[in-house]
């Protein structure tokens, strides 16, 4: 491109310079031509005037007048006029005419003309003669003019022979005239050429050529031209200067070309540097894949291309399941190795013709384009999920992670990159919510769900502010006696205009929106107030990991206790393992401070998640609650029973008492009691209920005891199970 611009410019400069040179040259030529013309015109006039001067010398002459009129001496005239035509520079033809115009004597080049005189006494010469004879020639009885004779073109002049005084003393019919002709012979022309520096001067037929001057007869008719060879000094000058200018142009061109070549290579280097910098800015250092910025750029490009080619673009949004646990359990170095291993695995699965990026943390993005892209995306998603079924080997260590995938299609490139990412991300969350290890295609309803979740958040905030969160209490009984020993406080929200909302729905919303701090304290203070009515009961309150993150959490709890005047020893805070996994150090510190207040801490929902007995040991929980799912699996048979027995035994060996949750059947109750659980909780003994219902339950303790007796009987009947 630059080269084309340069070439055009160079050509323009060269043509301007050359045309300037042309102009100077042609101007110089023109000037010289003009000068030559003026010189030649002058030369012709001079040539004629010379003849005129000669003619005066010969005719206004007393001797000539005497010999013409008095002596009538022909011999005198021959020797003074005729003979003078021989080898003369002044005239080469001399003719003496009488008053009638008849030749009395005619000589040319020193020889008498005799019969040939007709070739000289032409009508043009006679015209000059008539002019003199009739007195039309003015003051002087003499006329001049160019004529054509048989010898060629010449200047002719006719004059009356007279004494110096002008007094002829004869009548006009005796008058004698003298005619001279001076021919423009080739030697004469050559001499003119030399004298006036007009090279190549030659007599030519009449011409209008710029380098010629016309010679006209007295009647104005062009009878010949004198032409010269133009010297063209401009052309000569140009011939001298042109090579120099050309050389200068070539030097300038070479210099400019060098500049361009150097500039170009410099520009290429800068561009390469820039491209490298962009590439670096778009590369993830850990995995070597594209990073988020790189993915955004790729999506932008592909979507634009897709729109032009009416092709679909698909984004797969991946998030690893359980990565955080691996990172927390084995450290960041292992986490990094896992990311690299996953990146390598995905690169192989994805292949060459798709874009792969690490969006951040444990999230990856894959961009697919081309034919049958949707089908290919589904096949790839299946393959990725199957890939994660296998444990990943990291040196000595084997870790198990899964993958949740969200898929979104930009049909014909109609969905922009940013929106495509948002949708695929949402679909990925839907995979997570749906139980992880799966792929989900984006559905516009997901936006509606997100919307309704947002509305719910607004309503929840308001409900907490207005004290509309209720607390219900679920009985916890002693496993041996079935006497009511404790209650678990559970939050309830009757959403205005919608009805009751499950805690499994609104607790996660409270957690993600930061409302959980307020909500947790609200439940705690209500429950503590209620507990003052039940002096013989203990109380469990659930605490979310989110609450732990609030630095003022422990102080808030302490303040609530002071206010309620309840002995902290009666309270158990239930926590799930999540926070202990995420931030073990902070969890330990918070736990110690809570313990310092006199509270006890239970590990809730044991067996529902990553659950390791290691946590029990590491953090020294005061109680463990076996999750409902584990209890309900007892119905499925032997192995579950054994597993549960082993778990409870392990906890007891650490001195940690165990509560079983979600006990619904008598059979479950029997097994759990035998396994070693000291407390039971579940619909069998009572659903979460209002304080009034708990009051009523306390008034009829016999009901629970009867159930215990019945159970004891059933147990002994079924095979002598010991309590
Ligand atoms: P959780 O702490 O494990 O509470 C026990 C859940 O099991 C309660 O569900 C209870 O109704 C249910 N449950 C008890 N016995 C049975 C049974 O025999 N069968 C069945 N199918 N379910 C039984 P709920 O009240 O829906 O609460 C769900 C979860 O919400 C709680 O699980 C707890 O994690 C959370 N939650 C409830 N209230 C609060 C609160 O005030 N703060 C916090 N942070 N979390 C709360
Ligand atoms: Mg609980
Ligand atoms: Mg629980």
Distances (CA, A) of 412 to 405, 415, 427: 22, 8, 20
- pLDDT at residue number 205: 93
Q: What does each C-alpha distance from 663 to 603, 626, 630, 695 come to in angstroms?
A: 18, 10, 10, 22
What pLDDT is attached to residue 397?
A: 84
Write the burial class of residue 720 (CB in 10 Å: 0-12 exposed, 13-18 middle, 19+ buried). exposed
Catalytic residue (one of 48, 585, 661, 666): 661
* 58 three-class SS: helix
- Catalytic-residue membership of 692: no
From the CA of 573, the nearest ligand is 2
Using 50, 70 and 90 to split pLDDT, how confident is the model at 5? confident
The pLDDT-based confidence of 723 (bands split at 50, 70, 90) is very low
* Domains present along the chain, CATH in parentheses: 60-183 (3.30.450.20), 292-443 (3.30.70.270), 470-722 (3.20.20.450)
Three-state DSSP class for 265?
helix
| Tens-digit pLDDT profile for residues 274-327 | 999 989 999 999 999 999 999 999 999 999 999 999 999 999 999 999 898 788
Nearest to 339 by CA among 355, 354, 359, 353: 359
B/e letters for 407-445, b = 16+ CB within 10 Å, e = fewer, are bbbbeebebebeebbbbbbbbbbbbbeeeebbbbbbeee
Q: Residue 526 CA: which ligand is closest? A: 1
Question: Of the ranges 131-135, 230-234, 483-487, 523-527, which one carries the lowest mean pLDDT score?
Answer: 230-234
Q: Distance, CA 502 to ligand 1 centroid (Å)?
A: 9
Average pLDDT over residues 700-710: 75
Is 200 within 8 Å of 228 (Cβ atoms)?
A: yes
Binned at pLDDT 50, 70 and 90, residue 681 comes out as very high
What would the mean pLDDT of 332-358 be, rounded to a whole number?
94
Which range has the worst mean pLDDT, 291-295, 380-384, 575-579? Answer: 575-579
Q: Which residue's CA is minimally distant from atom 27 of ligand 1? A: 503
Statement: residue 720 has pLDDT above 50? no
Q: Whose CA is nearest to atom 37 of ligand 1?
A: 490
560, 489 contact by CB (below 8 A): no
Q: Which residue has better confidence, 364 or 579?
A: 364
pLDDT at position 582 = 65
Distance CA 678, CA 720 (A): 19
Position 498 scores a pLDDT of 93
pLDDT value of position 138: 79
For residues 26 and 19, give the distance between their C-alpha atoms in angstroms, rounded to a whole number: 10
Buried b (16+ CB within 10 A) or exposed e, 663-679: beeeebbbbbbbbbbbb
Neighbours of ion ligand 3 (CB under 5 A): 604-605, 661
Q: How confident is the model at residue 717 (pLDDT cuts 50, 70, 90)?
A: low
Tens digit of pLDDT for each residue in 240-270? 888 888 898 888 888 888 988 888 899 999 9
* More confident position, 551 or 576: 576
Nearest-5° Cα angle at 204, 203 to 205: 135
* Spatial contact of 59 and 185, defined as CB atoms under 8 Å apart: no
- How many other C-beta atoms lie within 10 A of the C-beta of residue 703? 13
659 CA distance to ligand 3 middle (Å): 10
The pTM score is 0.56
Distance CA 210, CA 500 (A): 116
Yes or no: say if 85 and 109 are a contact pair by the CB < 8 Å rule: yes
Tokens of 8: 């055009």
pLDDT digits (tens, 9 = 90+) for 174-184: 999 999 999 99
DSSP 510-571: HHHHTTHHHHHHHHHHHHHHHHTT-TT-EEEEEE-HHHHHSTTHHHHHHHHHHHHT--GGGE
Which residues in 65-86 are b (16+ Cβ under 10 Å) and which e?
bebbbeeeeeeebbebbbebbe
Q: Going by CA atoms, what residue is nearest to atom 34 of ligand 1?
A: 542
Q: Which of 542, 578, 693 to mutate to test the pocket of ligand 1 (most atoms within 8 A of CB)?
A: 542
Distances from the Cα of 200 to the Cαs of 151, 186, 718, in angstroms? 21, 11, 150
Percent of the chain at pLDDT above 90? 66
Give the Å distance between the CA of 501 and the centre of ligand 2.
17
Tell me which of 154-163, 251-260, 352-361, 452-461 is least confident.
251-260
| Cα–Cα distance for residue pair 407/522, rounded to 1 Å | 40
Q: How far is the CA of 632 from the centre of ligand 3 (A)?
A: 13
How far does the centroid of ligand 2 lie from the alpha carbon of residue 490, in Å? 8
Query: What are 627-670's pLDDT values in tens digits?
Result: 999 999 888 887 889 989 988 998 999 999 999 999 999 999 99
Q: pLDDT tier at 367 (50, 70, 90 boundaries)?
A: very high
User: Per-residue confidence at 440, pLDDT binned at 50, 70, 90?
Assistant: very high
Taking the CA of residue 683 as reference, the ligand 1 atom at the shortest distance is 18
Residue 143's closest CA among 177, 114, 175?
177
Count of helices and strands (H, E) across the chain: 24, 25
Q: What is the mean pLDDT of the chain?
A: 91
| Predicted confidence (pLDDT) per residue in 69-106, tens digit | 999 999 999 999 999 999 888 999 999 999 999 999 99
Report the nearest atom of ligand 1 relative to the CA of 684.
18
**pLDDT at residue 162, rounded to an integer:** 94
Which residues contact ligand 1 via a Cβ below 6 A? Answer: 474, 490-491, 502-504, 507, 520, 523, 542-544, 574, 604-605, 628, 661-664, 681-683, 688
Give the closest residue (by CA) to ligand 1 atom 17.
Answer: 662
Residue 721 confidence (pLDDT): 43
Integer Cα distance of 604 and 576 in angstroms: 5
pLDDT above 60 for 722: no
């Amino acid at each position: 491109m630059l080269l084309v611009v340069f070439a055009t410019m160079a050509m323009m400069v060269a043509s301007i310079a050359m045309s300037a040179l042309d102009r100077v040259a042609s101007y110089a030529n023109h000037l010289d031509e003009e000068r030559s013309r003026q010189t030649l015109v002058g030369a012709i006039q001079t040539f004629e005037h010379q003849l005129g001067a000669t003619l005066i010398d010969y005719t206004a002459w007393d001797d000539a007048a005497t010999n013409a009129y008095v002596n009538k001496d022909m011999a005198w005239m021959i020797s003074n006029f005729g003979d003078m035509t021989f080898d003369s520079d002044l005239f080469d033809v001399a003719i003496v005419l009488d008053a009638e115009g008849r030749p009395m004597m005619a000589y040319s080049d020193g020889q008498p003309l005799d019969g040939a005189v007709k070739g000289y006494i032409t009508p043009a010469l006679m015209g000059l003669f008539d002019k003199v004879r009739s007195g039309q020639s003015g003051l002087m009885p003499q006329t001049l003019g160019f004529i054509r004779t048989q010898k060629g073109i010449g200047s002719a002049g006719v004059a009356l022979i007279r004494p110096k005084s002008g007094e002829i003393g004869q009548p006009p019919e005796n008058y004698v005239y003298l005619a001279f002709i001076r021919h423009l012979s080739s030697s004469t022309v050559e001499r003119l050429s030399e004298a006036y520096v007009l090279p190549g001067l030659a007599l030519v037929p009449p011409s209008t050529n710029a380098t010629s001057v016309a010679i006209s007869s007295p009647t104005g008719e062009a009878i010949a031209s004198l032409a010269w060879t133009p010297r063209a000094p401009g052309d000569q000058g140009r011939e001298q200067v042109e090579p120099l200018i050309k050389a200068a142009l070539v030097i300038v061109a070479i210099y400019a070309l060098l500049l361009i070549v150097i500039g170009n290579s410099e520009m290429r280097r800068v561009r390469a540097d820039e491209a490298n910098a962009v590439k670096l800015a778009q590369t993830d250092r850990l995995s070597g894949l594209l990073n988020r910025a790189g993915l955004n750029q790729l999506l932008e490009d592909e979507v634009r291309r897709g729109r032009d080619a009416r092709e679909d673009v698909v984004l797969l949004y991946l998030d690893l399941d359980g990565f955080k646990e691996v990172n927390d359990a084995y450290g960041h170095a292992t986490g990094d190795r896992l990311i690299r291993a996953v990146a390598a695995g995905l690169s192989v699965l994805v292949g060459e013709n798709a874009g792969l990026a690490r969006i951040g943390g444990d999230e990856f993005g894959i961009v697919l384009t081309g034919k049958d892209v949707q089908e290919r995306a589904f096949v790839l998603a299946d393959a990725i999920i199957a890939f994660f079924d296998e444990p990943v080997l990291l040196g000595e260590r084997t870790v198990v992670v899964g993958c949740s995938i969200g898929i979104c299609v930009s049909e014909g490139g109609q969905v922009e990159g940013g929106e495509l990412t948002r949708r695929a991300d949402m679909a990925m969350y839907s995979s997570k919510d749906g139980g992880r290890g799966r792929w989900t295609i984006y559905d516009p309803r997901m936006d509606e769900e997100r919307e309704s979740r947002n509305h719910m958040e607004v309503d929840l905030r308001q409900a907490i502010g207005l004290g509309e969160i209720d607390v219900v209490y679920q009985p916890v009984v002693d496993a041996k006696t079935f006497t009511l020993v404790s209650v678990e406080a559970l939050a309830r929200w009757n959403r205005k205009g919608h009805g009751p909302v499950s805690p499994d729905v609104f607790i996660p919303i409270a957690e993600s929106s930061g409302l959980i701090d307020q909500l947790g304290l609200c439940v705690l203070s209500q429950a503590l107030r209620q507990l003052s009515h039940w002096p013989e009961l203990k109380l469990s309150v659930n605490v979310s990991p989110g609450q732990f993150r609030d630095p003022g959490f422990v102080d808030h709890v302490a303040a609530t206790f002071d206010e309620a005047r309840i002995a902290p020893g009666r309270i158990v805070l239930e926590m799930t393992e999540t926070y202990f996994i995420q931030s073990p150090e902070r969890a330990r510190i918070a736990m110690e401070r809570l313990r310092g207040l006199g509270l006890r801490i239970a590990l809730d929902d044991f067996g529902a998640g990553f659950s390791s007995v290691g946590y029990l040991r590491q953090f020294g929980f005061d109680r463990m609650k076996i999750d409902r799912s584990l209890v309900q699996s007892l119905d499925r048979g032997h192995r579950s029973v054994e597993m549960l027995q082993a778990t409870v035994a392990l906890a007891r060996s650490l001195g940690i008492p165990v509560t079983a949750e979600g006990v619904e059947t008598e059979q479950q109750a029997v097994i759990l009691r035998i396994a070693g659980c000291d407390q039971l909780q579940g619909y069998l003994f009572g659903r979460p209920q209002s304080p009034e219902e708990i009051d009523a339950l306390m008034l009829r303790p016999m009901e629970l005891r009867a159930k215990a007796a019945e159970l004891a009987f059933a147990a002994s009947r079924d095979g002598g199970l010991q309590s």
